[in-house]
Amino acid sequence: MIDIKINIQNPDNTITTIEAPTDMGLSLMEILKGNDYDVLATCGGMALCATCHVEVLKGFENLNEISDDEYAMLDTLPNITPTSRLSCQLKLVPEMDNITVKIWGDGVV
């Protein structure tokens, strides 16, 4: 079992680090929700609502490639950045160790 560290930039710009397993097939969204972060995830992780939008501040180059469906949903957001992703589409893998994300929590519902 390999645990990774995920750094979350809080609204006050402080960083909170949580540990997450990579052997359970969990997504970043599931870990964030499980740690009581304000992630709506209205569609339950199907890439249909963008309410789990995160901006990847560090480690973006280590993520899986974005799908057309994920990009289409992100493209509906007013505050998309070049490193925006849907946390429901990011399965936790060892390569994501020490990733830093900012939770936007916006989206269309």
What is 16-76 written as a DSSP string? EEEEEESSS--BHHHHHHHTT-----TTSSSSSS-TTEEEEEE-GGGSPPPPHHHHHHHTT
- Residue 105's pLDDT is 62
Residue 109 pLDDT level (bands cut at 50, 70, 90) = very low
Task: List the domain range (segments joined by +) for residue 82.
Answer: 3-103
- Residue 106's pLDDT is 58
Asked if residue 45 has pLDDT above 50, the reply is yes
- Whether the CA torsion 70, 71, 77, 79 is positive or negative: it is positive
Flag whether 108 is in a domain: no
Q: In what helix (H) or strand (E) does residue 86 lie, and over which residues does it extend?
A: strand 84-86
Residue 38 pLDDT level (bands cut at 50, 70, 90) = confident
Flag whether 85 is in a domain: yes
What is the domain count for the chain? 1
* Average pLDDT of the residues of the chain: 93
